[in-house]
Amino acid sequence: MSFVDVSNVWQAYGDRSILERVNVTVDEGEFISIVGASGCGKSTFLRMLLAEETPKKGTIRIDGGEPAVEPNLERGVVFQRYSVFPHLTVRENLIAGEGFKTPWGRLFGTARRAAVERADEMLERIGLNHVAEQYPAALSGGMQQRLAIGQALTAKPRVLLLDEPFGALDPGTRLKMHDFLQELRAETNMTVFMVTHDLEEGFKLGDRCLVFDKPRWDPHDPGRYGATITYDFDARNNGIPFQTTKENENVVHTATA
């Protein structure tokens, strides 16, 4: 059985269809890149994987379990804009990530000491130990984003969701972040879903690259149909062989179909 199983998922806001007939299965440890036109529902798909939203139809199962109904720490998330706490130091940001596991949101005594130790290991890992006592505002964009990834990883999530994580970074820092993410992957068996607008990045980092698009389009009512996965590229071998399963299933070539 697949680790992530998305079965016939539909999502709509009011009478606007956003996603329709989304089907995909993912093995544990796979890195899935997601690309598609702006507004086609990529972040909505991530929010459903995070269980922040429930699909209108269909099911999403992770590790064969019940349909995800609540966000939990098995799923870490990093957004394009740094999602760290500005009023906490770099080290406290990592410790706070662990505090969410407790009902009161804080750690005390032995638990806190252990969390500090783990935070320091993570700081070493993400190369931020020299700025542990500083506040995020004092860090560069790349450093803040490494902190955000470190924070998402402290809870050791089995699924990491990245929503354009490197979109706000300059090209050099972006390349360093690619190396960093690839190192992290080599060390863990995390399953990663990453939304990106950069196809090259999607193919470079992903094992597969999913394309979201609207195969059906009504020019008189743009909200009538939702997007779905129109291509599922195997990206492991530099994208060759190219497209696989979805082409015949979902690509509809006429405007009225």
Ligand X SMILES: Nc1ncnc2c1ncn2[C@@H]1O[C@H](COP(=O)(O)OP(=O)(O)OP(=O)(O)O)[C@@H](O)[C@H]1O
Asked if 2 touches ligand X (CB under 6 A), the answer is no
From the list 36-44, 105-113, 114-122, 132-140, the region that binds ligand X by CB under 6 A is 36-44
- Given the complex with ligand X, which of 91 and 214 has the nearer CB atom? 214
Q: Which is nearer to ligand X, 135 or 217 (CB)?
A: 217
Q: Is 91 in the site for ligand X (CB under 6 A)?
A: no
Among 9, 22, 32, 41, indicate the residue that binds ligand X (CB under 6 A). 41
**Contact between 144 and ligand X (CB under 6 A)?**
no
Q: How far is the CB of 3 from ligand X (least distance, A)?
A: 23
Q: Which of 207, 215, 225, 223 is nearest to 249 (CA)?
A: 215
Report the candidate in 76, 79, 54 with the shortest Cα–Cα distance to residue 67.
54
Between residues 30 and 164, which has the closer beta carbon with respect to ligand X?
Answer: 164
Q: Does 131 bind ligand X (CB under 6 A)?
A: no
Under rule CB under 6 A, residue 42 binds ligand X: yes
Interaction of residue 38 with ligand X, rule CB under 6 A = yes
Binding site for ligand X (CB under 6 A): 13, 18, 36, 38-44
